[in-house]
Structure 1
């Protein structure tokens, strides 16, 4: 089946890339002097939406900014001057490599050829100009005091730097448009093949077309997976993950539903079942395109539903804003905001699953919120009438009491939603209704199927309602989207199970109809299992345990597509194996907690080392959940492919650490290099283990045990590396201003897995930033010695 891996959520110049149309300038590195030194403004109408575009530009901006800043000190030693010349030459060489790839891309994409070539010519000219202006041979003879004056053409250097940044940005944006075009083209191929699949009338034709469809879905999965990883906006990333999850599950549903229709062409319920799958896949495909092109269909420009969490957050921000500006908004606006929040609380008070005690408490807090607001408005109006510039004591107290009341309301709603959700998930976890539907369908018992279908519809309404309540208190926009996805999944899958059961009832001896019902029931069970994980994530966010942690949503990479794919039956572990696996899982969980704790000590959460650490921790957490029979990893094959991805991420971290070590003093390097030397072979060993083929229950369990052991060893190293790296970073920040201006390890790893250099991936990989990095580091060291 086509699997849709979510990825590590970080990154440099990987496969995905920016936006359909370019670049609003990223936040400048701390300490940089872009505005004053360069006077550079980004191209109008452009906005960076991907990490790969931003992380290709940010190092270049930092290098040029450092170079420009050195002109402020007019006299340099000969040694420093030579280093500056090396920087100028390195910039020119890096740009030349970049331009070569850009021109190659231009030749392969006729519609953007002219724009790309013009931008490449501008970039090349700017690089050459910078090299000329930093050329020692072009400077005047040394002064009598032995010092040399450089950058006599200050205006020329600044102008060249501005042109270089603008042209490079334009090339990156054009390359990104090509990536988006690839995704759209891939989607179009999938749609054409889907239309063919809908119309087939024979098994032989179906198998042939489905094989093609499977290959196209694999390509689409990889392209969208890279894009999902590369998106900067966590909300869009969550939407992409939801759409791709739908496509992954629906691909298997499409297979069995289509086979059932072919076997029973006159069965109306089979046609309804199949049509629903195709419809949902088309909607998911369109959602992916809306995300990558950043557009919505006409008539859908209205904002989505606002959750209570978001409403309370915005309301409190407005209330607390009164401390800075008493005229920031009107009392009518504040009352309207509270009214909307309290209207949403009716979802809780009207719910049949809310206890009498919780309902009364919510109503009491709602009443108190109205009273506190009136007290606040009164103190606020009094302060305005007094024309006070600072906040009065009465207003400060009113603000505090208002915010406290909203916090208590949020806490009560969260408690209500999570307790109801936990009870319902536990109540439905035995899947008795699904089992009864399968039995009744196989017996051809129409009355029993109708009865159990009604019960499933009731269960669907219950689960939809708890998804709705959980969305209100989810705590982050990505989790809100996950709740909406779960709600939609239950809404759609419930009727699909019923239509599949009706088909089996009419054809009780049909193996294909039985297989089809099994697939839809498994999708329901999987979503209910995911609800447990979602509930835990929401609670963790509320209690501040895992916060805004970037979650690695990877599912297994696809293998060979087979139209006659059979579901593997899980082997049962004996008590000793279960105990061993459980203990190993707990050890893994403890290490993820330690890793999370160490990462919280870093000042920059977007640091490359931290991001790889977050990905490793989250992947390890998924492996821990596997040992408990929970989470997204459902089979041992899922675990093995997650372990391979874990090892790859570990190698990326080792690469980032190596890049960081190149910036350290000689005395500090051995400490970090020793840990890198431990991590690289550990990751390589895990890769080999994960890729080794095994057969039989005992061999499979041994492989599972080994993979988790080796993963634990890598986390052990990570627990040592994180505090060491953080300590070294702080040490250098304290004594080296360059690190405040540009953390150079926030770049692509040195030994990342090779990929085809096409589109944005190729063009971001082509920039020789590493050589620039070393030259600028040398330049800074020389400056510290001489000045």
Structure 2
């Protein structure tokens, strides 16, 4: 019997490399149908039922191929550079599909026995040939279509780079706002394309590298905004320029890495390979030791000692570290010595067995030597794991209060450059500890994707540390600059966020070490249907897991951005104690705590905490509507109509949030959906507030100007017109009516998180 055209389930492409899940999943049904046709028994009794079944499968293949080819031909018409290749592949697919349909047209085979006609029964090789051609041509069509997606990503990245260069060269706030608008739109498109690609990649290492690059872009988005604003506000400040240049350079490297992954590019030299970790080295060493039972490695048995010495040399990263305790160092050295002794005994025992008559049988001494060597090297691995994980846990505990960051902010606020310099040295030392710890975690991580994540964490700490210092120096030089303070806050938050990511990484490494990985899929975030009971019970307070936090992280970014809008608008108010300003500021603080929840941080720990906070926000929003109602009585008819109309929009949004927060749900999936809805409604409310604040400010000033000769109402204190806007153009509406809040709303659509 002829074998199927592509027998391996994981190799449907017959020579063409399949890099994405979508292509692979599209081919699975076709492979299944063709395998059914080819693998029928040669002596199968040709009953009418059997003949009809075979013909039905053949017809289904023919129809499916016809539809598929029609789509491929349409793609060819739209993409001239692929027209010839795609057209040829579609032609071959259609011809193969027709051949299979003819070979499976066997219903009249019994009646036309005397007619010389080929069928699947009479010409098995013809079916195999047609099946091979069909799979090859269909796979080629899919791979060519996938090339279009790659082209879209590379084109999008090129547009982002051009705009990034323009942003780097701007010299005025007005120019920055204009270009940042275009940059936001282009980054949104790039984010969606790369997010879909990341989830579609088959290679786990590529998915991990893509996630790391997109994480850099996501975190650098806010940094680019604040660093650029700071540099524009203080153009002669060298530390501000260094700070900004670092952000732009990091974004360029991340963009380049995405393209390397998507296109398999090899610019210049070969890409930097992953260092061989101790974990992988030990796994390979153990495999070779245990394979001695089958005499697979008879000749190079002596090389085991050489391989072990290479492993021992790698453990120097642990033993030579100034942060490894004396006891841990001694334990590692003793285990290395014990493993070395057991390996030498194993090699000697193996040599003796090879010289005996029963060389093909494993002696008791040989079996004991294999077991002792395997046990020794396993104990070494366990000790190295304990050293790395223990140090990481200790560092996370020490830095949980973020005391050094708070001290830097205080020193900057005081304008104390000397204190900033002292704290910078302390932060640099902490950074070196974290960098070295990430390197040790990489050694014992257990999987290549986790190794990549460790390397990403190491690089992030290495880069963010100096950026925090330059931001703190800028703030100390300009202690009254709100923009410089905001910039320092953003970089400190990135450091804190990376510490949180390191805690998640530590948990995953422990899960791998203890065999608790299960069958969790990285590209699925929500619980699977049917997992949770639908019976109504008392609502329980639950914590979101890492995957769910990753899913709503995009919404968290959106909340932070819109809250930044509100804060920026409030900074323009001359009277910060105004009733309206205080109410909006209070709402912004509530939303800030909800945004922190999406990152697993802050005072809100469970979903119930979040829902209570959402109810509080809705109540504060309705109170704001009441204040606006009082104020509207002082306005002219036309202005009053405008105020009431906008106020009604806000009231509706608050009522929707209130209803959502109070709606009872059961099950983890429903609870997560409720969390998502609450955050969406919250974003809607704050977007309305941010867009209306300039209007309220303007109307208040108009009202006070018109009644300047009369006593002003207590709720609306007298204010003066603001001077012409400069950097404030970023925080409100400029002459073109397009403020940064619109830009940030575009940027908020960024999905640089593994959340799908």
| TM-score calculated relative to the size of structure 1 | 0.68
Q: Which of 76, 80, 85 is residue 46 of structure 2 equivalent to?
A: 76
- Work out whether 1:314 is the aligned partner of 2:295: no
Q: Give distance in 1, aligned partners of 2:225 and 2:29.
A: 47
Distance 1:74 1:225, change over 3 A: same
Contact residue 173 and residue 232 of structure 2 kept, 8 A: yes
Residue number in structure 1 paired with 2:411:
440
Contact residue 156 and residue 189 of structure 2 kept, 8 A: yes
Distance 1:696 1:484, change over 3 A: farther
Q: Deviations over 1:360-399 (max 9, x none)?
A: 1111001111101100110122233337223232222111
Q: Give distance in 1, aligned partners of 2:173 and 2:599.
A: 42
1:702 CA drift (Å):
2.6
Q: Give distance in 1, aligned partners of 2:87 and 2:658.
A: 56
Report 1:751-770 matches (<5 A): none
Contact residue 260 and residue 513 of structure 1 kept, 8 A: yes
Residue number in structure 2 paired with 1:711:
670
- Work out whether 1:383 is the aligned partner of 2:356: no
Distance 1:623 1:549, change over 3 A: farther
Residue number in structure 2 paired with 1:779:
none
Q: Deviations over 1:640-660 (max 9, x none)?
A: 9xxxxxxxxxxxxxxxxxxxx
Q: Give distance in 2, aligned partners of 1:358 and 1:436.
A: 33
Residue number in structure 2 paired with 1:7:
none
Residue number in structure 2 paired with 1:416:
387
Q: Which of 19, 29, 32 is residue 62 of structure 1 equivalent to?
A: 32
Report 1:187-266 matches (<5 A): 187-266=157-236
Larger radius of gyration: 2
Secondary structure at 2:275 match in 1: coil
Report 1:661-740 matches (<5 A): 695=654, 699=658, 702=661, 706=665, 710-711=669-670
- Work out whether 1:498 is the aligned partner of 2:469: yes
Report 1:149-548 matches (<5 A): 151-301=121-271, 303-327=273-297, 330-386=300-356, 388-547=359-518
Distance 1:344 1:226, change over 3 A: same
Distance 1:150 1:56, change over 3 A: closer
Q: Give distance in 2, aligned partners of 1:109 and 1:536.
A: 47
Q: Give distance in 2, aligned partners of 1:255 and 1:340.
A: 47
Contact residue 694 and residue 700 of structure 1 kept, 8 A: no
Secondary structure at 2:590 match in 1: coil
| TM-score calculated relative to the size of structure 2 | 0.71
Contact residue 142 and residue 149 of structure 1 kept, 8 A: no
Distance 1:424 1:53, change over 3 A: same
1:495 CA drift (Å):
0.3
Contact residue 389 and residue 506 of structure 2 kept, 8 A: yes
Give the superposed CA RMSD: 3.7
Residue number in structure 2 paired with 1:124:
94
Q: Give distance in 2, aligned partners of 1:564 and 1:623.
A: 16
Residue number in structure 2 paired with 1:734:
none
Q: Give distance in 2, aligned partners of 1:340 and 1:67.
A: 53
Distance 1:142 1:693, change over 3 A: farther
Residue number in structure 1 paired with 2:554:
556
What number of residue pairs does the alignment pair up?
582
Q: Give distance in 1, aligned partners of 2:59 and 2:610.
A: 52
Distance 1:264 1:196, change over 3 A: same
Residue number in structure 2 paired with 1:686:
none
Q: Give distance in 1, aligned partners of 2:334 and 2:652.
A: 62
Distance 1:243 1:439, change over 3 A: same
Any stretches of 5+ residues in structure 1 without a counterpart?
1-30, 578-621, 641-691, 716-787
Residue number in structure 2 paired with 1:738:
none
1:72 CA drift (Å):
2.0
Larger relative contact order (CA 8 Å, sep ≥ 6): 1
1:464 CA drift (Å):
1.0
Distance 1:713 1:480, change over 3 A: closer
Distance 1:518 1:573, change over 3 A: closer
Q: Give distance in 1, aligned partners of 2:78 and 2:95.
A: 23
Q: Give distance in 1, aligned partners of 2:652 and 2:148.
A: 38
Q: Which of 581, 590, 599 is residue 571 of structure 1 equivalent to?
A: 590
Secondary structure at 1:60 match in 2: helix
Q: Give distance in 2, aligned partners of 1:707 and 1:499.
A: 49
After superposing on structure 2, the runs of 4+ consecutive aligned residues of structure 1 that deviate more than 4 Å are 35-38, 40-45, 557-570, 622-631, 692-698, 703-710, 712-715
1:294 CA drift (Å):
2.0
1:284 CA drift (Å):
0.8
Contact residue 235 and residue 478 of structure 1 kept, 8 A: yes
Any stretches of 5+ residues in structure 2 without a counterpart?
526-549, 568-586, 615-650, 675-756
Q: Which of 20, 27, 47 is residue 17 of structure 2 equivalent to?
A: 47
1:564 CA drift (Å):
7.1
Contact residue 571 and residue 697 of structure 1 kept, 8 A: no
1:698 CA drift (Å):
8.6
Contact residue 362 and residue 412 of structure 1 kept, 8 A: yes
Distance 1:563 1:182, change over 3 A: farther
1:291 CA drift (Å):
1.2
Residue number in structure 2 paired with 1:745:
none
Q: Deviations over 1:563-586 (max 9, x none)?
A: 974689553999xx9xxxxxxxxx
1:427 CA drift (Å):
0.6
Q: Give distance in 1, aligned partners of 2:156 and 2:149.
A: 11
Q: Give distance in 1, aligned partners of 2:655 and 2:422.
A: 42
1:429 CA drift (Å):
0.8
Contact residue 32 and residue 65 of structure 1 kept, 8 A: no
- Work out whether 1:85 is the aligned partner of 2:55: yes
